[in-house]
């Protein structure tokens, strides 16, 4: 695995981890940061060429002042893929990263992306299924909504070192800039998804109370070729609570959606 930076524009560089060979897979983390998809990236690197960026503004990385929305993030990643001349790309996104993946797909006029996996993604508005207000919840309350087994995964932030607590605060502040108004969705995105023809797998934790499986079902229905699979005994981050089941489903989608036989 190699860590490096890639220049997208004169004032935007992406910090990425890159590993493996084969079909390119762009892996986009959610608000919890790169650690939430690190295990998934390690798994996929055994059979694919993984590209795992840190969203600008997370973990101390630079975010230019103009990058104020998930649409900006999506375009930055599309430009990066196109600059690398990558094709047949599978984009996997968790939570906020799933929203960015969907925004990428509606803007991908070059056909760079050939498959999507959205894991408990935010990004659309669904009547009767509001997205939990993560800013209004205390850490324990957020854990109760996020995990099937919160007692196993919850960590009291006061037990963390001061630098980790500061990073968490800064990450949440960046997420508020990108997704705070309108809260955690793009009002136009749901209407645009019918034009996305890439096969799209939506994976959802059965116990997710940040965005419920009913929200996921509406999300899947909005795509031209969307399919929802609900994972039992998992919450908002099934790749952490049920990695074996989650990875197997992504592996299958990776194999089914590839359009090339020989890849460099």
- Structure tokens, 150: 């919160």
In angstroms, the CA 254 to CA 47 distance is 10
Residue 132: its pLDDT value, please?
98
pTM recorded for the entire structure: 0.96
Residue 264: its pLDDT value, please?
33
Q: What distances in angstroms separate CA 221 from CA 194, 227, 228, 239, one per listed residue?
A: 9, 8, 9, 23
In angstroms, the CA 147 to CA 152 distance is 9
* Other CB atoms within 10 A of residue 243 CB: 15
In angstroms, the CA 218 to CA 220 distance is 5
In angstroms, the CA 182 to CA 187 distance is 8
* Other CB atoms within 10 A of residue 209 CB: 16
CA 5: distance to chain centroid? Answer: 19
In angstroms, the CA 30 to CA 205 distance is 15
Q: Mind listing the pLDDT tens digit of every residue in the chain (264 residues)? A: 789 999 999 999 999 999 999 999 999 999 999 999 999 999 999 999 999 999 999 999 999 999 999 999 999 999 999 999 999 999 999 999 999 999 999 999 999 999 999 999 999 999 999 999 999 999 999 999 999 999 999 999 999 999 999 999 999 999 999 999 999 999 999 999 999 999 999 999 999 999 999 999 999 999 999 999 999 999 999 999 999 999 999 999 999 998 854 333
* Other CB atoms within 10 A of residue 226 CB: 21
Residue 259: its pLDDT value, please?
80
Largest CA distance in the chain: 51
In angstroms, the CA 209 to CA 235 distance is 7
């Amino acid at each position: 695995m190699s860590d490096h930076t890639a220049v997208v524009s004169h004032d935007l560089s992406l910090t990425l981890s890159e590993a493996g060979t084969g079909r390119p897979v762009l892996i986009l983390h959610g608000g919890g940061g790169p650690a939430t998809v690190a295990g998934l990236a390690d798994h996929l690197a055994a059979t694919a060429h993984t590209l795992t960026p840190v969203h600008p503004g997370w973990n101390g990385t630079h975010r230019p002042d103009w990058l104020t929305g998930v649409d900006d993030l999506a375009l930055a990643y599309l430009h990066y893929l196109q600059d690398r001349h990558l094709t047949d790309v599978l984009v996997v996104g968790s939570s906020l990263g799933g929203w960015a993946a969907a925004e990428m797909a509606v803007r991908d006029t070059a056909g760079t992306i050939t498959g999507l996996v959205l894991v408990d993604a935010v990004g659309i508005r669904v009547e009767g299924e509001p997205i939990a207000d993560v800013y209004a919840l205390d850490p324990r309350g957020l854990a109760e909504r996020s995990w099937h087994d919160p007692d196993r995964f919850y960590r009291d932030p006061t037990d963390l070192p001061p630098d980790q607590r500061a990073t968490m605060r800064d990450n949440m502040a960046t997420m508020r800039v990108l997704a705070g108004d309108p809260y955690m969705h793009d009002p136009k995105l749901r209407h645009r998804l019918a034009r996305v023809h890439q096969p799209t797998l939506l994976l959802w934790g059965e116990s997710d109370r940040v965005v419920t499986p009913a929200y996921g079902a509406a999300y899947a229905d909005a795509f031209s070729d969307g399919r929802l699979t609900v994972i039992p005994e998992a919450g908002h981050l099934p790749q952490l609570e049920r990695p074996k089941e989650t990875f197997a489903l992504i592996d299958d989608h990776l194999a089914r959606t590839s359009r090339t036989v020989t890849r460099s």
